[in-house]
Structure 1
């Protein structure tokens, strides 16, 4: 991904690293069907535009939910995501 933005001498790769990593972490992996952020943290990051405009309403979100309930749901979601990533057939390189 960096090679698409760097100059021919590759002296300016560090200027693009942060943006490329954001794009990579929010890209859906072809085998797992999940983004790296979702696989590690259980959710995708909120981008600046989403923070400005706001996220679409989530009917399953309860603003009165306790932190314990959230932690239990997050843990279950992470277990499911990790299980899915492990059972996906690996391709040989």
Structure 2
């Protein structure tokens, strides 16, 4: 093989070792740092999402409490009505 081929190979090898490999290492390092930052952001978002879910579950419990209170009010109204009937019945028995 002619010596020109060896010189070209040597020049290309030097360019690869001196320029391309360090550039690839720098770019890979940047990519790794960005991936780690994204991972941290996802961890923060997961923590915030968990907090939101916990707060929303309390809101659901409050909604259930309101529904139960409404039902209790209806029952209390029925009890009041029946109490009035019982009172009248007892009053009639006492008077007779």
Considering the TM-score relative to the shorter chain, is it more than 0.5? Answer: no
Structure with greater helix percent: 2
Could you say which structure has the greater relative contact order, defined with CA pairs below 8 angstroms and 6 or more residues apart? 1
Decide which structure has the larger Cα Rg and report it: 2
TM-score by length of 1: 0.28
